[in-house]
Amino acid sequence: MTNGIAKTGLAARPKFFRFDKFFWHKILWFVSNTGQPLLRKGVGVSVISVQNLRKTYGKIEALRGVSLQVEPKQIYGLLGQNGAGKSTMIKILLGIVNKTDGEATLLGEEAGNANVRKRVGYLPEDHQFPAYHTGRSLMHFYGELYGLSRPERTKRMNEAFDIVGIAKRADNKVKTYSKGMKQRLGIAQSFFHDPEVIFLDEPTDGVDPVGRKEIRDLLGTLRDEGRTIFVNSHLLAEVQLMADRVAVIHKGELMREGTVDELTRQTDRFELGLAPGQTFPTKELGDLGYSLKIADGLAQVVLNDGQGIDPVLEFLWQRGLKLRHLVEVKQSLEGMFVDIVEKENRDIPKAARKARKMESREEYE
Amino acid sequence: MRNFIAVLKDSFREAVDGFLIWLMLILSALAIIAIASFGFEKESAETSFRRITSEFNKAFLKRGSDGREIGTRIKVANQEMTTPIVLPFEANNVQKTDGSSGVSGTYTMRITVNKPLEKKSANPWDRVVSSLLTVDNFRMLLASWAAEKPEEREYIVKIPKFNTDTPSDKPDEKMTIPKPEAVPEGMTAAEFIASKNDTGYQSFTMPDVKPESMKKVDTETMIAFLKQQFLLHGGIDDVDVTRVNSVAEPQYQFDVTARVKGIPTGWSYNSSVFFGSMPFGSPNRPIGQVIIGVQDNIVNTLGASIIFVVSVILTAFFIPNMLRKGAVDLLIVKPISRWQILLYKYIGGCTFVFLVISFTIFGVWAVMWLRSGVMNSAFLLSIPILTFTFMVLYAVSMLISVLTRSAIAAIVITCLFMFFMWGVGLAKSICDISRNLPESPLKTGVAFNTTVDILNAGLPRYNDVMKLNSRLMGQDVLTPAELKRSDRLIYPSWGEALGISFAWIVGLYLLSYWRFATRDP
């Protein structure tokens, strides 16, 4: 990250047909199993597929029948409050916790499968690296578990250290690292072994604003190299800036899912500006049934059911008013999220809400 | 394999990161230095040969091929205790004839077998036995030694009471010495005691050699006996013996030429500590006793207990640290199964302790070798044996760690378990004594005995393994007689001792794995 966002160089090459000592074995295997390797690697199928996934911890329902699909080569953001079930879903996909019910596959294989874990990177929330390791020895340890040879480990970890900007501290003990440095190390260990999917749970936690931008750029680069990145976060602005698709999870249920554009678009709200010196005919438009709010010389027109913006534009033109500014107002991801949470809380009867609050508190604790 | 090496290296890195490992290594180094301060001074040939021959009355049946000693045998706590026949052997005029320096060489001497002095012993048992002996104890001893089927007889006697106020070296004149009664033909000692309606009787076996058997003992038998005794008590196997015929029986004399190679196990030494500033143990002892005294009693018992406790503390943090929230996730998502993570971590802890034990044992072995000139290779077997014993303790620690994720709980419970195993072993010994020795002051009830037997049968054999290790350790340094004597003690089998302990290790691992695999981190 310190040298700008160059290609990470780890996944630019085709993975399966990489020319290595197993090249001819793979060719023979491919010929005798036409098509299967690509399917197994997730080409043409969802990288992550979750159907009606449920997880209970005792009496607490952490996930209540969540279904979603994540396609390859995208940054997928999972939003939710603390205790919404975001981390639980990742842990089920990675085999860290066992699901209670439902289907979950990762790269076309049953979630938690040990083989598939080789092709996955993960940065947990509140991770704790063994304090007795240096950054370098930790990467050697993890690299050995991924089956990387020593020269391969050394080459890849040096690249990764450069990318995340901790190369100078790589030989210091992890216990001497700041929180931000630990986070950078965590990100480095999540991608240095060349995974196809990377799960990041609150990746920008504890990182300064400059570092956050560097992380965002890095994730973009990793996505452009063909990796799928699954990000859990409650920092909505961060997700909005980096994610291709977003899902909102609230108290174990999937509330919304789509691209950032789809989720933030509002079809009932426009912002209008007139030429200097002209004033909005607020009263007249009100009489026509439109509600207007004026702020900083711009008018926000809220359309009611069945109304369109065209009658307003026509009315202004007829009055000789010159339009200089017209924008369909988009809601921020944060606004959308807050709306969902508030609506959910409104829709739930008071008693049930109280019960859920209790559950949520227990879950959080 | 790569995963295994990776976890092993990780465990090692974790261990050397703390101060405890350095404390442990410093303690081990200090122990090695302290043992290096032991001094071993060889006694003169005369002193050594006099001590060796003084042991010659301790003979074994069937020309030494039987493990049972000749003498008065009583059974105490499942172990046969033998009091040898009183018979003084003396080596005189010991000379080295080949002019070489050092212990190796050719020695000549005259051995005299005297009639026992008429002396009232302070020990009432000796006085009971003396009342049954013949005049020519040497011929009686040899007749028993040479016989294919030894002539023996069972007696019962009302156990004489010791007067604790009387000094042990002075006979109590007022003491009543009971007369032993021979067990009648066709009756066992137990039946005979039962017929007395008195629980105060004890049975014992004595040589009962007939006069004609004693007459059959010829010079050839005497020479063979002495050669055998040189081998058994001195570890000297190249000996020529000639009888001096001019001496009247019941005194006997023999001229002996002994060719000694290296340092025989029966050679006498004086030992000291702190580089000769303080004597250690009684003087004029075979070197094997001193070496075993240090290696078994100090290192293998006291030292091992300290090593175990420190190792339990040191390694108890490995698994709870690995299971910490945020740390375990990072491991589980790697392409390694949970059974492998747990097993490799366990082996990592054991390997680390193996290295510490190896350092200590090897260091002690090396300095003892350098200081005494005796290389006791069997002592090195303590490395795998102590490591195996620790493996049981670490399996307990692993289970507690997985259940509680607390290093403190693992330390406390593992140490308690260790002391519990040791306590059950001790209680088992007490129960055995109580069951087999009516006069024992240690009285245990049936319920207690049964409980201890059940616990001992089911628990890992901590004491048994240590006991077997002690026996193994003496193989190269003790005299054949000392080894024979130790073989007469009841030992558990290696298979039983290791098998039950290993079953515990496997069981504890499976339980730990089950919990680790089914519990969400």
Tokens describing residue A64: 């209540």
Smallest CA–CA distance from A142 into chain B, residue: B334
Chain A residues within 8 A of B20 when measuring between CB atoms = none
Of B65, B91, B17, the residue nearest B321 (C-alpha)? B17
Is the pLDDT at B309 greater than 80, yes or no? yes
Q: How far is CA B483 from the centre of its chain?
A: 9
d(CA A87, CA A203): 12
pLDDT, residue A346, reads 67
User: A232 near A238, Cβ under 8 Å?
Assistant: no
Question: Under DSSP, is residue B100 helix (H, G, I), strand (E, B) or coil?
Answer: coil
What DSSP state is assigned to residue B518?
Answer: H
Mean pLDDT of B218-222: 93
* A contact set with B (CB within 8 A): 57, 91, 94-98, 114-115, 117-118, 120, 122, 124-133, 137, 141-142, 144-147, 189
Q: How many CB atoms lie within 10 A of CB B363?
A: 18
Q: How far is CA A282 from the centre of its chain?
A: 42
3-state secondary structure labels for all residues of chain A: CCCCCCCCCCCCCCCCCCCCCCHHHHHHHHHHCCCHHHHHCCCCCCCEEEEEEEEEECCEEEEEEEEEEECCCCEEEEECCCCCCHHHHHHHHCCCCCCCEEEEEECCEECCCHHHHCCEEEECCCCCCCCCCEHHHHHHHHHHHCCCCHHHHHHHHHHHHHHHCCHHHCCCEHHHCCHHHHHHHHHHHHHCCCCCEEEEECCCCCCCHHHHHHHHHHHHHHHHCCCEEEEEECCHHHHHHHCCEEEEEECCEEEEEEEHHHHHEEEEEEEEEECCCCCCCHHHHHHCCCEEEEECCEEEEECCCCCCCHHHHHHHHHCCCCEEEEEEEECCHHHHHHHHHHHHHHHCCHHHHHHHHHHHHHHHC
DSSP string, B12-80: HHHHHHSSHHHHHHHHHHHHHHHHHT-EEEEPPHHHHHHHHHHTTT--BTTTTTSSSBSEEEEEETTEE
User: B202 near B438, Cβ under 8 Å?
Assistant: yes
Q: Please indicate whether residue A337 or residue B366 has the higher confidence score (pLDDT).
A: B366
pLDDT, tens digit, 9 for 90 and up, residues B311-346: 999 889 989 999 988 889 999 899 888 999 999 999
Q: Please indicate whether residue B339 or residue A45 has the higher confidence score (pLDDT).
A: B339
Of B117, B111, B112, B115, the residue nearest B137 (C-alpha)? B115
pLDDT, residue B23, reads 83
Q: Smallest CA–CA separation between A126 and chain B, in Å?
A: 6
Mean pLDDT of B151-161: 81
pLDDT, residue B347, reads 92
**Out of B2, B17, B518, closest to residue A147 by CB:** B2
Residue A14: pLDDT band by 50, 70, 90 thresholds? very low
pLDDT, residue A42, reads 40
d(CA B329, CA B323): 8
Taking the alpha carbons of B372, B376, B379, B383 in that order, is the dihedral positive or negative?
positive
In total, chain B counts a number of residues equal to 521
Residues 6 or more apart in contact with residue B209 via CB below 8 angstroms: B134, B139, B140, B143, B144, B151
Please enumerate, as own/partner, the contacts of A286-290 that have beta carbons within 8 Å and a separation of 24 or more.
A288/A312, A288/A315
Q: E strands of B261-359, at which residues?
A: 268-273, 278-279, 285-286
d(CA A110, CA A92): 10
Q: Which uninterrupted H or E stretch holds B468? A: helix B462-473
Would you call B17 an interface residue with chain A, using a CB distance cutoff of 8 Å?
yes
Residues facing A61 on adjacent strands: A56
Would you call B10 an interface residue with chain A, using a CB distance cutoff of 8 Å?
yes
Phi then psi dihedrals of residue B144, to 5 deg: -65, -40
d(CA B80, CA A241): 88
Give the ipTM: 0.72
Best mutation target, B333, B515, B516, to test chain A (most A CBs within 10 A): B333
The share of chain B scoring above pLDDT 90, in percent, equals: 31
d(CA B326, CA A118): 19
Would you call B521 an interface residue with chain A, using a CB distance cutoff of 8 Å?
yes
**Out of A57, A117, A132, closest to residue B17 by CB:** A132
User: B150 near B61, Cβ under 8 Å?
Assistant: yes
pLDDT, residue B389, reads 92
pLDDT, residue A339, reads 76
Q: Is B120 exposed, middle or buried (0-12, 13-18, 19+ CB in 10 A)?
A: middle
Chain B residues within 8 A of A97 when measuring between CB atoms = 520-521
Q: Chains A, B: CB contacts under 8 A, how many?
A: 79
d(CA A79, CA B407): 36
CA dihedral A165, A225, A76, A99 (to 10 degrees): -90
Residues 6 or more apart in contact with residue B455 via CB below 8 angstroms: B424, B427
Taking the alpha carbons of B21, B27, B29, B32 in that order, is the dihedral positive or negative?
negative
**Out of B9, B321, B326, closest to residue A127 by CB:** B326
Q: What is the pTM of this model?
A: 0.76
Tokens describing residue A13: 């090459």
Q: Residue for token digits 């000592």? A: A21
Give the amino acid at A209: P
d(CA A5, CA B23): 48
Is the pLDDT at B270 greater than 60, yes or no? yes
Best mutation target, A106, A136, A144, A152, to test chain B (most B CBs within 10 A): A144
The verdict on a CB contact (< 8 Å) between A145 and B3 is: yes
Helix axes B2-17, A135-145, angle to 10 degrees: 150
Please, what is the end-to-end C-alpha distance for chain B in angstroms?
26
Of B154, B153, B136, B130, the residue nearest B216 (C-alpha)? B136
d(CA A272, CA A295): 11
pLDDT, tens digit, 9 for 90 and up, residues B47-96: 999 999 999 999 988 888 887 888 888 876 566 778 888 888 999 999 99
Q: Please indicate whether residue B239 or residue A204 has the higher confidence score (pLDDT).
A: B239
User: A328 near A300, Cβ under 8 Å?
Assistant: no
Best mutation target, B317, B329, B514, to test chain A (most A CBs within 10 A): B329
Residue B402: pLDDT band by 50, 70, 90 thresholds? very high
Would you call B335 an interface residue with chain A, using a CB distance cutoff of 8 Å?
yes
Is the pLDDT at A25 greater than 60, yes or no? no
Tokens describing residue B138: 């040497």
Of A55-69, A136-150, B8-22, B142-156, the one with minimum mean pLDDT is B8-22
Output the average pLDDT for chain A: 80
What DSSP state is assigned to residue B258?
Answer: E
Would you call B20 an interface residue with chain A, using a CB distance cutoff of 8 Å?
no
Of B299, B469, B479, the residue nearest B381 (C-alpha)? B469
Q: Smallest CA–CA separation between B2 and chain A, in Å?
A: 6
Residues 6 or more apart in contact with residue B320 via CB below 8 angstroms: B401, B404, B405, B406, B407, B410
Smallest CA–CA distance from A200 into chain B, residue: B330
**Out of A117, A129, A130, closest to residue B335 by CB:** A117
Residue B170: pLDDT band by 50, 70, 90 thresholds? low
Smallest CA–CA distance from B518 into chain A, residue: A98
d(CA B474, CA B356): 23
Is the pLDDT at B9 greater than 80, yes or no? yes
Q: Residue for token digits 């009611």? A: A304
Of B272, B258, B267, the residue nearest B285 (C-alpha)? B267
The verdict on a CB contact (< 8 Å) between B334 and A117 is: yes
Mean pLDDT of A213-237: 87
Output the average pLDDT for chain B: 85
Bond before B250 cis per omega within 30 degrees: yes
User: B330 near B43, Cβ under 8 Å?
Assistant: no
Mean pLDDT of A163-190: 90
Chain A residues within 8 A of B6 when measuring between CB atoms = 141, 144-145
d(CA B36, CA A99): 61
Chain B residues within 8 A of A124 when measuring between CB atoms = 326, 329-330
Q: Residue for token digits 């593992």? A: B414
Is the pLDDT at B247 greater than 50, yes or no? yes
pLDDT, residue A80, reads 85
pLDDT, residue A140, reads 94
Chain A residues within 8 A of B9 when measuring between CB atoms = 141, 144
The verdict on a CB contact (< 8 Å) between A144 and B335 is: no
Would you call B119 an interface residue with chain A, using a CB distance cutoff of 8 Å?
no
For β-strands A228-233 and A75-79, DSSP reports them as parallel
Of B98-102, B220-224, B505-509, the one with minimum mean pLDDT is B98-102
pLDDT, residue A38, reads 41
